[in-house]
Amino acid sequence: MEQAREPSISRIAVIGNYLPRQCGIATFTTDLCEAIAAEYPNVTCFALPVNDTEAGYAYPPRVRFELAENDLSSYRRAADFLNMSNIDLVCLQHEYGIFGGPAGSHILALLRDLRMPVVTTLHTILREPDPMQRKALEQIAQLSDRLVVMSQHSIEFLQEIYHVPEEKIDLIPHGIPDVPFMDPNFYKDQFGVEGKMVLLTFGLLSPGKGIENVIEALPAILAEYPDVVYIVLGATHPHIRRREGESYRLFLEQLAREREVEKNVIFHNRFVSLEELVEFIGAADIYITPYLNPAQTVSGTLAYTVGAGKAVISTPYWYAQELLADGRGLLVPFGDPQAIATQVLYLLNNKAERHAMRKRAYQLGREMIWPKVARRYMESFERAREERSQHPRPVFTARALDSRPGELPILKLDHVRRLTDDTGILQHAIFSVPNYAEGYTTDDNARALILTTLLEEMGEEMAGEVDGLASRYLAFLWYAFHPATGRFRNFLSYDRRWLEEVGSEDSHGRALWALGTVLGRSERRGPRGLAGRLFEQALPAALEFTSPRAWAFTLIGVQEYLRRFYGDRAAQHVREVLAERLMELYRNTSSPDWPWFEDSLTYCNARLPQALLLCGQWMRRGDMMAVGLNSLEWLVSLQRSDQGHFVPIGSNGFYRRGGERARFDQQPVEAHGMVSACLEAYRMTGEPRWRKEAQRAFDWFLGRNDLRAPLYDPTTGGCRDALHADRLNQNQGAESTLAFLLSLVEMRLSENILNLAEQAISSNA
């Protein structure tokens, strides 16, 4: 092979997962580093992996710095480390699931501070990203000098969806080991399958792999070829195993027994080394990827087997369509065991065609071997460095204090734990001591469930404890629901007696909001299953509500639910009906000097425009978004003091049109509602002023208010119940504490992407 020319780059850092962590990105990052080191002996190449456990992994010497997945500060420390290490270039391996923060946005904090060129390999490019995923990838593209993709589909998506210029994109195939074209029988005796025809699927196990469809196909295959064996190679994905144990593997084993093919199915439950993997692939006559998700732009397992010259049968996900074109493999419909059986039998019955297919695949693989891929990467690196030298970026961008977000307090759950018992979260406290006499409410347990779900999404280190709290709050909602009425009860006494048959419409709406959040954001299948049943039973009642706030709470919950289940027509119908009711209220009530939905401002006011902002974006209703922004703008100006701090409408009289506005008692839920609504306006518009308004409302908790007194108590982790005209209400109940903690979590979740968006807007201006 031709010797690679000496590059101008001498020090490269690669960011991504790394072996012995068990995942595809770890394998790819390790192989890329080793390939570059082998092809360019004078280049120093080291790695910065991301740890998903506190203990980390026993990494090899090439690993020089470790990042903690959910610790934002570790990303900033990594940037400092790279900047002082005289690195010529950083190569980032990007996958949404490996970095902390919403949509993996913690990595943006690292990229923003780097002084050297960055080349990013994109392992997943979504055709239908949610707003946070889109924002994250757009910012990564902007902060990277070049982007590497592995398929033509990826180039098209980057251009059409994310508006990345074609000249910034390099197409480099997935690297593969350089193995000879060999007869499968050479390896079969090592695995005790000599004399048999071997079908193989390998990779980390998870329910989306579709392996059950191959097992379902086996009876028809074995009827003609009883000597066929199907090897399923790979451990269960560590994240799946932590959440669900080995349930998927056990399901597959039971299915094999039910279909009476257990003698022909071999599970090899290990994460194998590259050397072992090459031997397993070598022993296979036919490789099968029966994946269920079409939205897959790359597959390392498919690249390996095509490059090794295997006959391949696959479902038509995007990468498979490209790699198996021109007779290099066969495609079958998703979820179709009969089609798998038909194509396996076709290849077994047509030996000449099977071997011709193998040769076509192997010839393509010669351009994918790691030495050639390493050269292609080095060419991309040098282009990035040359382009950066011609268009240098400033090392330091001055940002005045008023353009930076305020420091956020440490998240502290002590008071939430104090208020929570085996039943749920108690409603009130006397100072910081739980008040048993007031019992529990569905309202507060719904709020607490939303908090724990957002904490799960943040990946907080106390995840195990959060799971336990979340289960109690969800169990409370299950107990609160009365199937005979289709409604939630709200007030439960300390001795567990319901104090009414039907709770308020608001409490029902908040319960739907919490259930929708679990369904849209949680990765835990058990809670999602229960929440799904409850959400389906409880949703129809919302159409009978007359409370605009109950409509708004329901709409927010429905929109959370539709994050994951957008095709649900029943949920879409509820959204359309309730959103239109809010619009009708606004049309009938608003005027130029009173752009509002009702003739009075009472409680949870910001939730009304927030609901329309959410629905308008997803329903593509410009009129809804305009009403949401206009009404929120008015509410913001109305609740801003002459001194510039946030002053919510007081609950001691509220504010009737044409009447006198109540200044006190100011409630924490009003500040939380304003934080949420302004952050949503910022996500939608990208206008920095909305981020500042969210900060203004959040600062109310910290003492920027009429009394200049903090409501948040950092010693307990609780929040005081109200701001009176002359004093603070010193009781720290569930509603106020959850209002503060939810505000804090929402500010944290938005911090990285929103700050980067603001910086991008400023630089573009």
CATH assignment of the domain containing 347 = 3.40.50.2000
Distance CA(459)–CA(51), nearest Å, equals: 12
- Does 289 map to a domain? yes
Residue 323, both tokens: 């790699």
Cβ neighbours for 4, distance < 8 A, ≥ 6 positions apart: 39, 40, 371, 374, 375, 378
Q: Which of 242, 246, 245, 244 lies closest to 464 in space, CA to CA?
A: 242
Instruction: Give every residue of the chain whose pLDDT is below 50, as ranges.
Output: 395-405, 461, 756-765
CB 101 within 8 A of CB 69: no
Distance CA(214)–CA(201), nearest Å, equals: 9
So what's the pLDDT on residue 270?
82
Same domain, 127 and 272: no
Same domain, 439 and 332: no
Residues 530-539: contacts with CB under 8 Å, at least 24 apart: 530/474, 530/478, 531/474, 534/477, 534/478, 534/481, 535/561, 536/570, 537/481, 537/483, 537/486, 538/481, 538/486, 538/487, 538/488, 538/508, 538/511, 538/512, 539/512, 539/570, 539/571, 539/574
Which whole-number Å values give the CA distances from 123 to 97, 156, 173, 317, 545, in the listed order? Answer: 11, 14, 11, 14, 46
So what's the pLDDT on residue 759?
45
- Does 3 map to a domain? no
Distance CA(18)–CA(31), nearest Å, equals: 9
Q: Which of 569, 595, 601 lies closest to 583 in space, CA to CA?
A: 595
Residue linked to tokens 């011709």:
356
So what's the pLDDT on residue 393?
65
Which whole-number Å values give the CA distances from 689 to 81, 93, 244, in the listed order? Answer: 34, 33, 43
- Does 5 map to a domain? no
So what's the pLDDT on residue 394?
54
Same domain, 629 and 594: yes
- Does 579 map to a domain? yes
DSSP conformational letter for 19: T
- Does 396 map to a domain? no
Same domain, 759 and 709: yes
Same domain, 200 and 106: no
DSSP 371-439: HHHHHHHHHHHHHHHHHHHHSPPPS-----GGGSPPPPPPP--HHHHHHB-SS-BBS-EETTEE-GGG-
Residue 654, both tokens: 């509220």
Distance CA(625)–CA(609), nearest Å, equals: 9
Same domain, 537 and 675: yes
Q: Which of 434, 512, 420, 437 lies closest to 472 in space, CA to CA?
A: 420
Structural domains in the chain (count): 3
Distance CA(310)–CA(302), nearest Å, equals: 10
What are φ and ψ of residue 232, in 5° steps? -105, 105
- Does 144 map to a domain? yes
So what's the pLDDT on residue 460?
53
First to last CA, the chain: 50
- Does 180 map to a domain? no
Residue 427, both tokens: 């409603």
Distance CA(719)–CA(731), nearest Å, equals: 8
Give me Rg for the CA atoms of the chain.
Answer: 29
**DSSP three-state, residue 61:** coil
Distance CA(699)–CA(741), nearest Å, equals: 13
Domain boundaries, position 134? 11-175+371-390
* 553-571: burial string, b at 16+ Cβ within 10 Å, e else: bbbbbbbbbbbeeeebeeb
Same domain, 196 and 220: yes
CATH number, residue 469: 1.50.10.10
Same domain, 547 and 636: yes
Same domain, 361 and 375: no
DSSP 268-281: E-S---HHHHHHHH
Cβ neighbours for 435, distance < 8 A, ≥ 6 positions apart: 426, 427, 428, 429, 731, 733
Residue 492, both tokens: 């439960």
Q: What torsion do the CA atoms of 191, 192, 194, 195 make, to the nearest 10 degrees?
A: -130
What is the model's pTM? 0.61
Distance CA(26)–CA(668), nearest Å, equals: 45
CB 625 within 8 A of CB 613: yes
**DSSP three-state, residue 148:** strand
Helix residue spans in 65-161 (DSSP H): 72-84, 106-113, 131-143, 152-160
So what's the pLDDT on residue 634?
98
- Does 361 map to a domain? yes
Same domain, 307 and 199: yes
Distance CA(422)–CA(145), nearest Å, equals: 53
So what's the pLDDT on residue 763?
42
Q: Which of 763, 741, 757, 697 lies closest to 131 in space, CA to CA?
A: 757
Q: Which of 350, 349, 321 lies closest to 334 in space, CA to CA?
A: 321
Q: Which of 21, 154, 161 lies closest to 97 in space, CA to CA?
A: 21
Distance CA(267)–CA(746), nearest Å, equals: 43
| CB-neighbour burial class of residue 86 (10 A; exposed 0-12, middle 13-18, buried 19+) | exposed
CB 668 within 8 A of CB 722: yes
What are residue 728's DSSP bridge partners?
723
Same domain, 56 and 170: yes
Same domain, 577 and 689: yes
